[in-house]
Structure formats: C-alpha cells, structure tokens
A and B are shown apart, each in its own frame.
Chain A
Amino acid sequence: MVNKATKPTDALIGRDAWNIQLDKNGNLKHFLTTEGLGTEVLTKILDTAESFADINEKSVKKVPLLRGKTIVNLFFEASTRTRTTFELAAKRLSADVLNINISTSATSKGETLLDTLQNIQAMHCDMFVVRHTDSGASHYIANNVAPNISVINAGDGSHAHPTQAMLDMFTIRRNKGADFGNLRVAIVGDILHSRVARSQIHALNTLNTGDVRVIAPKTLLPVDIENMGVNVFHDLKTGIQDADVVIMLRLQKERMQGALLPSEQEYFQLYGLTEERLQAARSDAIVMHPGPINRGVEIDSNVADGPRSVILDQVSFGIAVRMAVMTMTLGREPEHEVGTNDHQSERHE
C-alpha cells in the first residue's frame, strides 16, 4: 500500500486556468490572458490581424465571417475606447452586437455575477467580451458559461488585458519586424496596477523579445516582478537607454492618495517622457501608450504627438487584432471562410 495521501489531477480539481483558453485540438477557445499561450498561437493572432488590417483601410470595411453570431460586450467597469473598438470589430465581421454596461452597484443589489451571466446566456449568444474590476473575473466567467460560448477578456482588475497587449505586439511588429529577438522594450510607469503591463510582459517574453524592462519607483512595482522575466530599473534615462520601443503607462490620479507617490509634478519630473529624455533611446525608437493619455503627467505633448509616437496607430490596429481574436475563438478564421456561404460553426456544436 502506498503510504501517502495524494493530490488529484487537474481534471478533478477544475480545469487549469491557462489551458482553458485552448480547446482539445489546441485551438483558441477563450482569450483571457497572454500567459501560457505558445509563440504559435500569438503569432497566428498577429498574422490573422494582418489580413484584417487591410480590410480596415478599404472603403467597404465589412466581411461576413461572423454573420449570424451574437457578441455581447459585458462591461462591469466603464470604458469607451476598448468597448468601441470591440464593437467596431464585431460589426465589421457582420456579427450582432449587444452592449451591456453593468455597474458594480447593480450586481451588489443581490444578483450575483453568476445570475447575471445565466440571464444573458439565456439570450443565446456566442461570445462574451468581458471587462471587470476583479482580477480573474474573465477566468471565472469562462469557467461558468455554457460550453458553446467564447469569452474574451477586455481587462480584469490588475491581471490581464490580452487584446491590448496583442495590438501592442502588432504595432511593434509593423514597425520593427517579426523578429523580436534583438529588441529592447521598456515599459514605464504604474506596473503595480497595470493589467496591460502584465499582458505585454507575457506576450513579449513568449515572442522571445531580447530585453524586456520595467521602469518605475518601487511603490509602483509589484514584488517579485523579476520573476515574470523583466529587468527592473528605477531611473528613466538608464532604463530607456538604447530602447527600440518605449511603452508609457497611464498614471491614475488616485495613486497620489494611497501614498504611492508624492505628487504628479514629482512623477513627471522623474518618469515623464520628454523629447530630451527620449534621446537616450535608439534614434528609431517608437513610443507607445495604451491610452488614455495624461499629458504632462506621464508623457509630454511633444512626444505624444511627435514623429516617434505610434499611439494612434495602436488604436486603429486594435480593431484588426480584435477581429482576429473574435474569428479565431469562434473558429471562423478568414482562410476557412473565403468563398463559402457556410454559416455553420465547425467546432462548436
């Protein structure tokens, strides 16, 4: 007799958080985080987005890939930009879109998140695009929806914002080429609270980026961040030295209240990106920002609107990347669909 207690396999205690993103054939089923997805999947997202980027530049921007599908934008946290790009992406794929904004106060009236989900699920939809203030909310939802529904994380707490990270990867690839091996990417600002930064770090490392750096005062860095595969800097100039890509993060005004920072002025003085400081980066460096920008807090207007800024490109690429993720999770990628009128899903019975 084996004289010890044993732990059950993952199958018994619940599906593994990262692997629930893939179906049994290894295809993308949900898109919750950039962590745990291989180079192939991430590259496929970028390649698929590439084919949609062209469509977005044409005068007729619609393709029928998701005709008959219903996509629900389920936003538990306010957002204009992200929700709008998801909505446009869905409409350009000919899907029906429903926007539901649920303030946290509505759910605190007694209806649980599960109740809310089941109610919306009863309307027979195919995809939830979810934004929520709690880290892990999209995993929770993916674990609890009907098996035919795909979930896309549009931002959960401080955990992940994978479509934002992928549009950033897309922007980097467009500007710097497909080989990330020689790139130095610096992420500057409030890493502690940033779901964008976490998703970027996982994606950059999966795409084998040469040097991923984070730059922030110690109060804005989570403990053991090195563990995620980044080099840590506290000085902006040293950190962005010879960088190919500089990503500035938004600084929320409320950070001053929790004693994380003394003032916006001091923050800008130390970590604000100005033309002069940008000189330390490579001459062809690009400047990115997930938006919305706090001009004069984390970035100077001259830089935000300057020649090296690709901030508005990020926004337009965001639509293509979201179209890619939507078609992939619903199993309707362009190459399957060109020239057919088949509206039956191949993978989701």
Chain B
Amino acid sequence: MIIRVSAMSDVIIKNGHLIDPANNIDQITDIHISNGKIAAIGPANTLKTSANTQLIDASELTVIPGIVDCCARLREPGMEHKATIKSETIAATRAGITTLCCPPDTDPVIDEPAVVEFINQKTAIAGHSHVVVLGALTTGLNGERLSEMFALQQSGCVGLSNCRNPVENALILKRAFAYAATFDIRVFIEPDEHWLSAGGCAHEGKIATRLGLKGIPVSAETIAIARALELIAETGVSAHFGRLSSAQGIEMIARAKNEHLPVTADVSAHLLHLTEQDISSFNSACHVIPPLRTQRDKEALQYAVANNTIDAICSDHQPHDVDAKQAPFASTEAGISSLETLLPLCLRLCQQTSLELKDVISKITHAPAEILGIEAGTLSVGATADICIFDKNEDWQLTSETTSSHGKNTPFLGWNFQGKVKHTLVKGKVLFSD
C-alpha cells in the first residue's frame, strides 16, 4: 500500500526482505530513500521520517536492487514501428528493470556521439528506466574501419560491440581490440562465425534435420570464441561474451577464466528454459539467434550460471511487430520480446534448480552493472535508489494483454509464473505499482 504525499517526497520501504548480493544483505528490514538516493538501511523507527514521507509496506515482499539488463533492443532509432525507447522503458519498469543496455545495431548505427545523445534525450523524455548504450566497434558495424572509440567513450558509451556483424579480417579485429584496450573500453562480443551461421535459423541437430531447416552449428559459436580469445590474450582488452548458447562455448569461457583472461559472459534467460524441441511445431515465437540448442546445452548453461562461468543473465529483448513473425519459420525475424520474462524466468530457475535466490539476483543486478562499469545494481547507502520489489509467491499468467512491451512475440504466452513485480523505483520515484 502506498500513501502518496508528494512527488518529491522521501520514501520508506518497510518490512521488506532485502536481498542485496553486492553488500551481502539478506534480511527483513527497511530502506529510507531521500533525494533519489538510498539514505539509510535499518529499522524504520530509527530512520528519520517527515510529513512528506511516502510509505511502501513491503511485508511478505522481496526488495532487490533495480534489475540491470545488459542486452535489450529498444528499436529506436530506426525501427519505431516495432517499439520505442518510451514503450520499452515503460515495459522495463513494469518488469523491475531499471537499467537497460542497448547494443549499437540501431539505424543509424551507434557509431558517433550524436546517436548516443539522441538516445539519451529520448530516454530522459520517457522518464522511466535508465538506458546505457554500447558503441559500434567498427563504423557502420561493417567490420572494416575502427569507430571513433574515444569519442564514443566520452559521449557515454559503456562499451563497444560489433553485435553479430562479422569482422572478417582478423587483423582489423586485433587492432580494434588493441585500440579499445588503450582507453580501457570493454568490448562486447556476440560470438558468431557468420559463414557457418548465415541463413541458419535453428540449432543444427535432429530437430532442424526433421523440419528441413538450415542449421546453425555449435562451431559457429566456438570458432568465434576461440578467435576472440586469442586476440584478447594478445591485446589485453577486457571482453564480455554475450548470449552464449552451447556447452562447448561455456567450456572455452571457463578455461579462459581459469587462465585469468579478462573475460566475462552472459546468457539470455530464455536459453535457460527452452530447447530445440520447442521449435518442433515450426513455432516462430521460438525463432531466436543464437538458436535454442539441446537439452544438454541448456543444462550446461544452467550449470554455468550456478558455478559463475556465466556472470550475468540478460533478457536479449527483441520486440517485433506482428508481421515479423507472420510467415513460415525461416522467413520470420529472429528474436523474443523478453523484458517482462527476465525476472520470472530467473525465479523459475531457482524453483527448478538448487540455485539460491540471492545468487540469481546477483546475476541480474550487481554482476551486469559491474560488467557495464556503471554504478547500479546495489542498495548501498548513497547509491541511486533504483529498486525492484516483488512478491515471490504470487501466481500469474503471461498473456499478450498483460504484456506492456510493444513486442508481443514471446513463446511464453500462456505460461504460469510464480513471482510478480509489485513496485519499481527509479531514482527514488515510484514509477510502477501493481
């Protein structure tokens, strides 16, 4: 229950079960928010209250840092018919996500500061979740010329990526890594050897064989990882591998971490729950790149989350218009609209495996914030008050009516979930209450 007093009021969240992995907090207590920052943590009677204080009763609820999603396509600029920064940041707050990281494959590509400024302005006007961006590693993502990395960094890009666009020339890739390393910019790699994946739309395996779909072999991922790892070792650049899909890919990352290479990794939440079997009725909602792979791969990914080979879980949100999925499987556009299933699927992982809640919360808050090099994902005193409050016991069903994103393209429609976001605060303001 909320007692609204004024828009600028302080906020006290009472009796919530606080989980803040960064500060090792896992207890029932209160939070006092003032001027958009976390002012204090502890029993409310010891906290200062004023007439202006807004009170959120979080009894029976779980209070975590606002979720940080390290990969979400917002479709603006360039594909506003699919979604906009406004529509998707609103959807994000409803999902407890307070920071989104947007890859550079917008139109125009984020390869110059003007595009970063445009996105920042749109985000400010929307007034919901924070948006940070990755700049393009090469101009136009063409894989040929280095982008103005320093300028992009100065304009606020938190890292650089060529997305799934190839850098065919290994020398250019090496120099891009070396130049980025000069300015301590992290590179974000979506490993893909495009000659092996081009035209493919499903995991190369028994289901693709039955359905007559062009497969994407695991080697498309592992060859790209191997190539990048060699160049990371030579250049010393910090690198983040995003959207891993295979057991073999995970093993390579685990080995690189053992060798103390500066690498981190993430997985999209849907790959922790779906397999190639889910496309067996030509279900285009499950057309996603990298593809849903085998049960063995799925289990390896879950295990890698548990043993910290995978640092973060992201949504890999890709909202589409209805027409994008209205065609025979291979002709549909790849991607799942997944902001609103990020937390539910993470909670589902806890329910189905031995993973502890605080460990999975870490992978959607503190860990991705660290990867992005931003101050977020904690409930530290003095930190920006981005907070997600959810009821871990509430049952609900995902339907296209309850989905706030413009993209209704999710294979999880009709699924029953346990755990629902009740309040989201961004900079101390309650932007969503259920």
Measured CB to CB, the residues of A under 8 A from B are 1, 3-8, 12-18, 35, 112-114, 132, 134-137, 139-140, 156-160, 195, 198, 222-225, 227-228
The residue in chain B whose Cβ has the minimal distance to the Cβ of A19 is: B281
CB of B433 closer than 8 Å to a CB of A: no
Which single member of B328, B413, B417 contacts A134 (CB below 8 Å)?
B328
Q: How far is the CB of A34 from chain B (nearest CB, A)?
A: 12
- The reply to whether A16 and B208 form a contact with Cβ atoms under 8 Å apart is no
- The reply to whether A140 and B212 form a contact with Cβ atoms under 8 Å apart is no
Contact with A along B271-299 (1 / 0, CB 8 A): 00000000011110000000000000000
Write out the residue numbers on chain A whose beta carbons fall within 8 Å of the beta carbon of B401: none
Write out the residue numbers on chain B whose beta carbons fall within 8 Å of the beta carbon of A135: 211-213, 282, 328-330
Q: How far is the CB of B20 from chain A (nearest CB, A)?
A: 24
How many residue pairs between the two chains, A and B, have CB atoms under 8 Å in the bound complex?
108
Contacts A5-B415, A7-B415, A13-B283 known; A112 to B326 CB distance under 8 Å? yes
The residue in chain B whose Cβ has the minimal distance to the Cβ of A3 is: B351
Give Cα A114 to B344, complex, Å.
Answer: 33
- The residues in B between 141 and 195 inclusive whose CB is less than 8 angstroms from any CB of A are none
The residue in chain A whose Cβ has the minimal distance to the Cβ of B419 is: A5
- The 7 A-B pairs at the shortest CB distance, nearest first, are namely A158-B212, A17-B281, A159-B212, A134-B328, A136-B282, A8-B414, A12-B414
Write out the residue numbers on chain B whose beta carbons fall within 8 Å of the beta carbon of A223: 204-206, 208-209, 215, 217
Write out the residue numbers on chain B whose beta carbons fall within 8 Å of the beta carbon of A222: 208-209, 215
Give Cα A76 to B272, complex, Å.
Answer: 37
Give Cα A215 to B371, complex, Å.
Answer: 50
Give Cα A140 to B283, complex, Å.
Answer: 9
Measured CB to CB, the residues of B under 8 A from A are 204-206, 208-213, 215, 217, 280-283, 323, 326-331, 344, 347-348, 351-352, 393, 395, 411, 413-418
Contacts A224-B206, A227-B209 known; A5 to B330 CB distance under 8 Å? no
- The reply to whether B344 and A5 form a contact with Cβ atoms under 8 Å apart is yes
Knowing that A114-B326, A228-B206 are A-B contacts, what are 14 other residue pairs whose CB atoms are under 8 Å apart, sorted by A's residue number? A4-B348, A4-B352, A4-B418, A14-B281, A134-B328, A135-B211, A135-B212, A135-B329, A140-B327, A156-B328, A159-B213, A198-B210, A222-B215, A223-B209
- The reply to whether B416 and A8 form a contact with Cβ atoms under 8 Å apart is yes
- The reply to whether A13 and B414 form a contact with Cβ atoms under 8 Å apart is yes
Contacts A113-B326, A223-B215 known; A35 to B210 CB distance under 8 Å? yes
Give Cα A121 to B282, complex, Å.
Answer: 23
Give Cα A246 to B166, complex, Å.
Answer: 44
Contacts A16-B281, A134-B329 known; A228 to B210 CB distance under 8 Å? yes
- The reply to whether A136 and B351 form a contact with Cβ atoms under 8 Å apart is no
The residue in chain B whose Cβ has the minimal distance to the Cβ of A139 is: B282
Give Cα A5 to B397, complex, Å.
Answer: 9
Q: How far is the CB of A256 from chain B (nearest CB, A)?
A: 18
Write out the residue numbers on chain A whose beta carbons fall within 8 Å of the beta carbon of B331: 134
Give Cα A132 to B282, complex, Å.
Answer: 15
- The reply to whether A134 and B210 form a contact with Cβ atoms under 8 Å apart is no
Q: How far is the CB of A29 from chain B (nearest CB, A)?
A: 16
Write out the residue numbers on chain A whose beta carbons fall within 8 Å of the beta carbon of B395: 1
Write out the residue numbers on chain B whose beta carbons fall within 8 Å of the beta carbon of A112: 323, 326-327
Q: How far is the CB of A153 from chain B (nearest CB, A)?
A: 12
Contacts A3-B351, A13-B411, A136-B330 known; A227 to B211 CB distance under 8 Å? no
Contacts A5-B418, A113-B328, A136-B330 known; A225 to B282 CB distance under 8 Å? no
Central interface residue in A4, A14, A16, A136, by most chain B CB within 10 Å = A136
Write out the residue numbers on chain A whose beta carbons fall within 8 Å of the beta carbon of B282: 17, 135-136, 139-140
The residue in chain B whose Cβ has the minimal distance to the Cβ of A226 is: B206
The residue in chain B whose Cβ has the minimal distance to the Cβ of A15 is: B281
Write out the residue numbers on chain A whose beta carbons fall within 8 Å of the beta carbon of B215: 222-223
Write out the residue numbers on chain B whose beta carbons fall within 8 Å of the beta carbon of A15: 281
Contacts A6-B416, A13-B411, A224-B205 known; A195 to B327 CB distance under 8 Å? no
Write out the residue numbers on chain B whose beta carbons fall within 8 Å of the beta carbon of A14: 281, 283
Write out the residue numbers on chain B whose beta carbons fall within 8 Å of the beta carbon of A17: 280-282
Q: How far is the CB of A189 from chain B (nearest CB, A)?
A: 15
Write out the residue numbers on chain B whose beta carbons fall within 8 Å of the beta carbon of A159: 211-213
Give Cα A14 to B278, complex, Å.
Answer: 12
